[in-house]
Structure 1
Amino acid sequence: MKKEDVMNILDWKTKQSNVEVPFFPARVLLQDFTGIPAMVDFAAMREAVKTLGGDPKKVHPACPTDLTNAPNPGGGDLQKAGKLSPLRVQPKKLPCRGQATCRGSCDSGELGRNSGKFSSQIENTPILCPFHLQPVPEPETVLKNQEVEFGRNRERLQFFKNVAVIPPGTGTAHQVNLEYLSRVVFEEKDLLFPDSVVGTDSHITMVNGLGILGWGVGGIETEAVMLGLPVSLTLPEVVGCELTGSSNPFVTSIDVVLGITKHLRQVGVAGKFVEFFGSGVSQLSIVDRTTIANMCPEYGAILSFFPVDNVTLKHLEHTGFDKAKLESMEAYLKAVIQINLNSIVPSVSGPKRPQDRVALTDMKSDFQACLNEKVGFKGFQIAAEKQNDIVSIHYEGSEYKLSHGSVVIAAVISCTNNCNPSVMLAAGLLAKKAVEAGLQVKPYIRTSLSPGSGMVTHYLSSSGVLPYLSKLGFEIIGYGCSTCVGNTAPLSEAVLNAVKQGDLVTCGVLSGNKNFEGRLCDCVRANYLASPPLVVAYAIAGTVNIDFQTEPLGTDPTGKNIYLHDIWPSREEVHQIEEEHVVLSMFKALKEKIETKEPVALQPIENAHVLLYLGDSITTDHISPAGSIARSSAAAKYLTNRGLTPREFNSYGARRGNDAVMTRGTFANIKLFNKFIGKPAPKTIHFPSGQTLDVFEAAELYQKEGIPLIILAGKKYGSGNSRDWAAKGPYLLGVKAVLAESYEKIHKDHLIGIGIAPLQFLPGESADSLGLSGRETFSLTFPEELSPGVILNIKTSTGKVFSVIASFENDVEITLYKHGGLLNFVARKFS
């Protein structure tokens, strides 16, 4: 988030509903119907990144992602067996079932083109009640069904990190989200932050009754979040809804929910956030709150929110949150944190755990205390008479002395300091001053410099400090994980023998984030985390058993004592170097990278035919493949040609990871009314030949002829449920643009995210009012500088010229469109 975004939020009174701000949710929730296509897209991106010369293994969800399954038709409730546990998919190869029926379980390890659905299928028929002919849940049947599901789907996600799969038979996405997945307060690496979630369903808002910020977005938008990109959100207007009093004893919770819903719809809260407050809130149970929040789509708000209170905490206690977690959560939600920067002092962490912070001024006394303490996280239990032992070694023709506290490994690594060049430059400047003062590092100390990227090397070199680091032994050894994961060159035999002979507690000092005992080297028992300049300082001192305030690092050639404060660079020095070298270098490198990744210039759409001429309220059900695969459809012909019988066709939902089936199922709805045909049917006309064909067959002919396609439509194009295949399908059919009177926002976002231009008739105009038949060809050119809401001119083959709106709302959407959609944009980012 940029400073400008923060200022816009702070200035919310004047900026709301007028500016876009980026929002990074804490997690993502996928229900199974949209989840598997997302995983397929990730697999496709891996292939694209590999083609572009990048590392496909880098393509993983960047934030925690939960994928839930539909309820198991066989019944059953895993919660009866105890606390739920997300299935963390483990690698397991399954035999291929043959090309015709392979569901992606081949040894290729990729998501198969005929991927089966992840939602449950009835493999073992449950017992039917003889009186009601209704399925009776039978534990054995449930377990058999679930076992088959796990076996069928395990391989689909095994190569993605940061993804948790919730087993079949657990419950609906919203219920699992509410009962199990919700954290309310996240805790990661001792950092607390509020829970927030976006997901692929409009009723994600249900969890807002628990004090969690969440709402539904489109599948492609969700994938963007999974890839580490923000949701671009218009700064919302927050409407407060005060609840007072208590309800009549005869009024049920449903009456309350419906009453609030009716009132909010009458007031008008469309596109806004609603926050409930007041004395009446405490009268509502969590069930009431979540139901009210779940009704957001019904009263038009983006989301409604109930802040956490005692009712929430009591509910969480009843649902399994332990007491310590609840106390931490309550303290966090109530806390006002105040930090006096004067109280922060230089420190290190160790000797065995990163959380054991030691003030630099206490380092000597703390290490000596560790020698005395019994063996543990802060102790080595060295006998008092052994604590001053010294062992002499001969190394490269000179004699040195090792003792408890002697530094034998010193590593400056910037994987955890990469985003803060100041500490790396401080290390370099300290090295420069040390060399100029005549200080050296003893040669037996295993020193290394492992930058997190070439950019670090660049600014260390351009600022002139790299040669001084090298003179102290901090040579660049590479850019990957090194000392922090034990990738340290072996210590010399002289050092190893001395450590063993004296049973010495020698030390490693590194600027990483892990320092567990034995991690750097099994012979180094004390390991400290320190800032890069302190790593250099301890390497020069040769020991951690030193008080930097009173003891010198060494002496200059004249015998004068040199203390740490003599060579420590000032904040002003570091800042000046950073401004002169780092900012300039990074800007230059970023500019070069952007220029090499520039999107292809927007190509004009020339002589495009109309694939479909549609009316008002075309829903995603009309567009996206859904339901069973009709025997006469293009998808059925495809499957039949591959040896499948009709009973094996399954449904579009079952094959939503198969682009060949899903493309053929796009606009295959038997209720689709195409004005070219004049009656409901999944047909259209291929105008060059005059044939009436299945939509896919016509589109296939157009693509072979190199003819681009557009769709003409009326009002509310793309309304209904969020389905990303409603955009992917037309894209694969060769559709370059949709020209409609108005759009459902989520679907319009999907069109942009896949690379289809959303064009809109001017207010009051339509295909009918302009006298368009749909049999013309259409041509338009995009301006070099495309901007939100720009007016474009379309010329038809009949000579008619009319204006339309390029329905882009912000620069982010334009950027994605210029790159050919989100997936292409991200693939370039990883390459």
Structure 2
Amino acid sequence: MTAPASKDSFGARDTLKVGDASYEVFRLDKVSGSEKLPYSLKILLENLLRTEDGANITADHIRALGNWEPNADPSIEIQFTPARVIMQDFTGVPCVVDLATMREAVTDLGGDPDKVNPLAPAELVIDHSVIIDVFGRADAFERNVEIEYERNRERYQFLRWGQGAFDEFKVVPPGTGIVHQVNIEHLARTVMSRNGQAYPDSCVGTDSHTTMVNGLGVLGWGVGGIEAEAAMLGQPVSMLIPRVVGFKLTGEIPAGVTATDVVLTITEMLRRHGVVGKFVEFYGESVAQVPLANRATIGNMSPEFGSTAAIFPIDDETIRYLKLTGRSAEQVALVEAYAKEQGLWHDPSREASYSEYLELDLSTVVPSIAGPKRPQDRIELTDAKSSFRKSVHDYVEEQHPTPHTKVDEKVEESFPASDAPSLSFADEDAEPALASAANGASGRPSKPVTVRSEDRGEFVLDHGAVVIASITSCTNTSNPSVMLGAALLARNAVEKGLSVKPWVKTSMAPGSQVVTDYYEKAGLWPYLEKLGYHLVGYGCTTCIGNSGPLPEEISAAVQENDLTVVSVLSGNRNFEGRINPDVKMNYLASPPLVIAYALAGTMDFDFDEQPLGQDTDGNDVFLRDIWPSPQEIQQTIDSAITQEMFSKDYADVFDGGERWKSLPTPEGKTFEWDAQSTYVRKPPYFEGMQADPAPVTDIQGARVLAKLGDSVTTDHISPAGAIKADTPAGQYLSEHGVDRKDFNSYGSRRGNHEVMIRGTFANIRLRNQLLDDVQGGYTRDFTVDGAPQAFIYDAAQNYAEAGIPLVVLGGKEYGSGSSRDWAAKGTRLLGVRAVIAESFERIHRSNLIGMGVIPLQFPEGESASSLHLDGTETFDFEGITKLNDGETPRTVKVTAKKENGDTVEFDAVVRIDTPGEADYYRNGGILQYVLRKMTRA
């Protein structure tokens, strides 16, 4: 579809010739002040020039961006029209479900269902569904893919229907790679060529780590699924012109330090500095020394330090990578010519103006990990053991010593939880605890448990045992330096006679098939497999909670003895309850360190002081003895990676092979919903919707559904991992004839609102402060005498039946984490009308508005605690109705009535930040707004 012609108030329209081709372009130098803009704002400026329509995008908007004041607080709203949308299947399935539902709703309102079609390229990569059921075996990949198709048949049929039903919508089938790696290796254009125009590639994605593509010079960031749907349907993204943090890179990365260490250091620096809602842009002499894969690793972690984007400009390294990954000669030539013509080519001698400045000398970076529950909690590797010993006390119940316990591999023979031994403390005379190599383990909580397994023998588990050591996730598996570093370390370990401890679940989930190719060419697969690192799948796996179950006997030992065990993964997310329900402490590490911890078998380990084992001659082997040199890693990269690998693996990226093509697929413009489906159901968002929105109302008599603390993530609000049988979601599936083994995950069930509502606020690590020392999806139900403990879902149903609106109280950084639309959808469908927090993460705040939930902030310096709110109050909100007059109130008056009749009053700050967001809220949500707009067109 051809875009509407720009009004071109600045006479910027011009022609760019590249070889034999000519393109219409909009010249940035026609706008005064553009030459001093940061790279990222130049991309926004071009976007406004090209889409200027005189209504939503005006000459004043363009002028304001050209006259950008670096030190000003964001106040000017612009409308950004991304060039394309990218999705993964967990968030993409509900997007397509909503689009299918919108087609029916448009018809009901007298509109044309054909209008519900992506207006910009939309690509979905199925990468989040593979679960590591089978590991440590040669057939692990094939078996996991087979199980994946069995579990997800309904979802995949639905997505195949969408691929045929919607224009400009393509699906990358399962088993291809991780969405962000597929994006940088194949889908990203860097410069778009479409409808005779050339313009900067830009995208929004339904995964917060969409920012990985920033490493390729592409401006993009994660949005909620509901925002992505609106963008697909031609709705611009409403945003304030942001502050831009200039991050100067100097020096060189020292030997023994990985890209992961660099990114964890940058994450810590930027999180401490404060970059939420800002763009981060890297510049300086050392940018040219940062390989593209490292840039992508840094960009990927943008959500962890909180920025909207973290971008690198286009330069020679960008061009080298585009050539390596098999982009056409014409495309590469266009990128270079366009970037140089438009002043988008990195010139280290010319420094843009920035709002704030940071600097990192890369030579000062040291090996690091992060954990045990947040990516920004960086720990220098030399301090890892002492840090673990300090942190583990937060996870164990320290009581009197008890005897060493043995656990048989058969769960039914394990002792009941009530008989589980209490805590003892490790000393040199204890039975062979995990850290037997760690002489003098005094002071570390210890509860050694002997476990017998038919295929793993007999071993001792204790607090701190590394039970998962997974090379996974887009962050690092796109990076040959750390992936080949890990493989070379594995080779060296095997040659020294070392082996992984028997209790460690090992897995290798590369980001694309190219990794497999270069492992094979380098001859390194056999060494990885010798240590148990067989290919388990090409997908997100462990980082999204798809680590799969622990071996039965290990899980039993952990649960029955309440052991605090550990996962180490090369990913970007280690939030509580995310990785595996049996694992309490989770650490992020580089791929080589993942293998190192698998060899050590415990977090209670000092790599400098303790040997990983002995070689065949009985000599101690330390990590330093098997760590590959930077020169060897680079030589392996140079000899093992070729352009042909990328060209071959992406030649038929949308094909999917026989499994995919043999799926029976429905046809037609509207989807035939299966009433028996437990995966894909028609959602209720548009039921009873009228052509015009009802007036906004104030909220009266609201009850608190949950009172939550700081750093509550979207994982806490809407978990993506396993579904427990004794929860409302598990009960729903059982009632619908689904066996426990087929429950799959919350992430895979996102196309079924019935499961997702029941899973909202159901994270096993959620701490609702309405209850004392209770974890999980529980609350107090004030519709029942005595306000007893109840499942949050059950209580919400009782409140709905009684006509009582709900409110959630939160602390700082409410809703940080993945761009999970269901964290907002589920909140609204439970009956929550408002969330009051000390601060919000950007995407979740936007998503709440997109679902018609008003985000409110406590007054500066105040909190639920300082206002003495305990969650038993009844809340009234006054002043929301000002929105009916086209005005967004700065604050609303909140009155909380306590049970004894006392009241607490305060003015909550309204976090509806733009006029566009106000329109969405007035319409009851962004999809309702878009739908009404379609029917009027």
The TM-score bracket by the shorter chain reads: 0.5 to 0.7
Q: Take 2:869 and 2:251, find their aligned partners in 1: how far apart are those partners?
A: 59
Question: CA 1:2–1:684 in 2, change beyond 3 Å: closer, same or farther?
Answer: same
Question: CA 1:666–1:269 in 2, change beyond 3 Å: closer, same or farther?
Answer: closer
Give, in angstroms, the shift of residue 175 of structure 1. Answer: 0.6
Q: Take 1:49 and 1:650, find their aligned partners in 2: how far apart are those partners?
A: 33
1:818 corresponding residue in structure 2: 922
Question: CA 1:612–1:6 in 2, change beyond 3 Å: closer, same or farther?
Answer: same
AA aligned opposite 1:650: N
AA aligned opposite 2:802: E
Q: What is the correspondence of 1:520-599 to structure 2 with a 5 Å cutoff?
A: 599=693
Structure 1-normalised TM-score?
A: 0.58
Q: Take 2:131 and 2:271, find their aligned partners in 1: how far apart are those partners?
A: 39
Give, in angstroms, the shift of residue 776 of structure 1. Answer: 3.1
Contact 1:611 1:710 in 2 (8 A): yes
1:233 corresponding residue in structure 2: 239
Give, in angstroms, the shift of residue 25 of structure 1. Answer: 0.9
Contact 1:69 1:120 in 2 (8 A): no
Give the SS at the match of 1:34.
Answer: helix
AA aligned opposite 2:69: K
Per-residue CA deviation, residues 21-60 of structure 1 (Å, 9 max, x unaligned), is 2211111111221111111121222232222222223112
Q: What is the correspondence of 1:678-693 to structure 2 with a 5 Å cutoff?
A: 678=772, 679-690=774-785, 691-693=788-790
Give, in angstroms, the shift of residue 609 of structure 1. Answer: 2.2
User: What is the aligned length?
Assistant: 519
Per-residue CA deviation, residues 217-249 of structure 1 (Å, 9 max, x unaligned), is 233322222221222222123344444565667
Q: Take 1:634 and 1:619, find their aligned partners in 2: how far apart are those partners?
A: 21
Q: Take 2:105 and 2:791, find their aligned partners in 1: how far apart are those partners?
A: 30
Q: What is the correspondence of 1:18-29 to structure 2 with a 5 Å cutoff?
A: 18-29=75-86
AA aligned opposite 1:772: L
Give, in angstroms, the shift of residue 659 of structure 1. Answer: 0.9
196-205 vs 721-730, which moves further: 196-205
1:561 corresponding residue in structure 2: none
Q: Could you tell me which of 871, 875, 880 is aligned with 1:778?
A: 875
- Where does the alignment leave 5 or more consecutive residues of structure 2 unmatched? 1-56, 344-689
Give, in angstroms, the shift of residue 202 of structure 1. Answer: 2.8
Q: Does 1:830 align with 2:887?
A: no
Q: Could you tell me which of 14, 30, 36 is aligned with 2:93?
A: 36
Q: What is the correspondence of 1:490-509 to structure 2 with a 5 Å cutoff?
A: none
Contact 1:788 1:814 in 2 (8 A): no
1:69 corresponding residue in structure 2: 126
2:218 corresponding residue in structure 1: 212
2:751 corresponding residue in structure 1: 657
Give, in angstroms, the shift of residue 309 of structure 1. Answer: 2.1
Give, in angstroms, the shift of residue 822 of structure 1. Answer: 0.6
1:669 corresponding residue in structure 2: 763
2:178 corresponding residue in structure 1: 172
1:756 corresponding residue in structure 2: 853
Give the SS at the match of 1:749.
Answer: helix
Give, in angstroms, the shift of residue 787 of structure 1. Answer: 1.7
Give, in angstroms, the shift of residue 146 of structure 1. Answer: 6.7
Q: Take 1:259 and 1:680, find their aligned partners in 2: how far apart are those partners?
A: 32
Q: Does 1:48 align with 2:105?
A: yes
Contact 1:25 1:225 in 2 (8 A): yes
AA aligned opposite 1:789: R
Q: What is the correspondence of 1:336-485 to structure 2 with a 5 Å cutoff?
A: none
AA aligned opposite 1:162: E
Q: Take 2:841 and 2:277, find their aligned partners in 1: how far apart are those partners?
A: 13
Question: CA 1:816–1:285 in 2, change beyond 3 Å: closer, same or farther?
Answer: same
Give, in angstroms, the shift of residue 67 of structure 1. Answer: 0.7
Question: CA 1:652–1:239 in 2, change beyond 3 Å: closer, same or farther?
Answer: closer
Give, in angstroms, the shift of residue 165 of structure 1. Answer: 0.6
Q: Take 1:648 and 1:144, find their aligned partners in 2: how far apart are those partners?
A: 10
Q: Could you tell me which of 54, 67, 75 is aligned with 1:11?
A: 67
Q: Does 1:792 align with 2:792?
A: no
1:316 corresponding residue in structure 2: 322
Give the SS at the match of 1:204.
Answer: helix
Give, in angstroms, the shift of residue 196 of structure 1. Answer: 0.8
How high is the sequence identity, in percent, across the aligned residues? 46
Question: CA 1:677–1:787 in 2, change beyond 3 Å: closer, same or farther?
Answer: same
Give, in angstroms, the shift of residue 821 of structure 1. Answer: 0.9
Contact 1:28 1:64 in 2 (8 A): yes
Give the SS at the match of 1:717.
Answer: coil
Question: CA 1:68–1:788 in 2, change beyond 3 Å: closer, same or farther?
Answer: farther
2:587 corresponding residue in structure 1: none
**What's the C-alpha RMSD, in Å, of the aligned pairs?**
3.1
Q: Take 1:681 and 1:241, find their aligned partners in 2: how far apart are those partners?
A: 40
2:392 corresponding residue in structure 1: none
Per-residue CA deviation, residues 673-705 of structure 1 (Å, 9 max, x unaligned), is 223332224222332323543221221122122
Larger RCO (CA under 8 A, 6+ residues apart): 2
Q: What is the correspondence of 1:254-273 to structure 2 with a 5 Å cutoff?
A: 271-273=277-279
Q: Take 2:712 and 2:801, find their aligned partners in 1: how far apart are those partners?
A: 27
Contact 1:788 1:811 in 2 (8 A): no
Per-residue CA deviation, residues 167-205 of structure 1 (Å, 9 max, x unaligned), is 111111111011010111111122111111111233222
Contact 1:715 1:741 in 2 (8 A): yes
1:641 corresponding residue in structure 2: 735
AA aligned opposite 1:37: P
The runs of at least 4 aligned residues of structure 1 exceeding 6 Å deviation read 143-148
677-686 vs 697-706, which moves further: 677-686
AA aligned opposite 2:916: V
Q: Does 1:765 align with 2:862?
A: yes
Give, in angstroms, the shift of residue 66 of structure 1. Answer: 1.1
Q: Take 1:265 and 1:774, find their aligned partners in 2: how far apart are those partners?
A: 30
Question: CA 1:239–1:182 in 2, change beyond 3 Å: closer, same or farther?
Answer: same
Give, in angstroms, the shift of residue 714 of structure 1. Answer: 3.0
Question: CA 1:699–1:5 in 2, change beyond 3 Å: closer, same or farther?
Answer: same
Contact 2:185 2:325 in 1 (8 A): yes
Q: Does 1:186 align with 2:192?
A: yes
Q: Take 1:252 and 1:672, find their aligned partners in 2: how far apart are those partners?
A: 34
- Where does the alignment leave 5 or more consecutive residues of structure 1 unmatched? 72-118, 338-595
Q: Take 1:8 and 1:266, find their aligned partners in 2: how far apart are those partners?
A: 30
Give the SS at the match of 1:57.
Answer: helix
Q: What is the correspondence of 1:275-314 to structure 2 with a 5 Å cutoff?
A: 275-314=281-320
Structure 2-normalised TM-score?
A: 0.51
Question: CA 1:272–1:650 in 2, change beyond 3 Å: closer, same or farther?
Answer: closer
Q: Take 2:704 and 2:100, find their aligned partners in 1: how far apart are those partners?
A: 32
Give the SS at the match of 1:12.
Answer: coil
AA aligned opposite 1:12: W
Q: Take 1:647 and 1:640, find their aligned partners in 2: how far apart are those partners?
A: 11
Give, in angstroms, the shift of residue 156 of structure 1. Answer: 4.8
Give, in angstroms, the shift of residue 653 of structure 1. Answer: 2.0
Give, in angstroms, the shift of residue 802 of structure 1. Answer: 0.8
Per-residue CA deviation, residues 275-324 of structure 1 (Å, 9 max, x unaligned), is 33444333332223222333434554432322222222222122212223
1:608 corresponding residue in structure 2: 702
AA aligned opposite 1:790: T
| Structure whose alpha-carbon radius of gyration is higher | 1
Q: Take 1:600 and 1:212, find their aligned partners in 2: how far apart are those partners?
A: 40
Give the SS at the match of 2:764.
Answer: coil
Give the SS at the match of 2:69.
Answer: helix
Q: Could you tell me which of 824, 831, 834 is aligned with 1:737?
A: 834
Q: Take 1:246 and 1:694, find their aligned partners in 2: how far apart are those partners?
A: 53
Per-residue CA deviation, residues 683-740 of structure 1 (Å, 9 max, x unaligned), is 2233232354322122112212222222233333222222111111121111111222
61-70 vs 201-210, which moves further: 201-210
Question: CA 1:799–1:192 in 2, change beyond 3 Å: closer, same or farther?
Answer: same
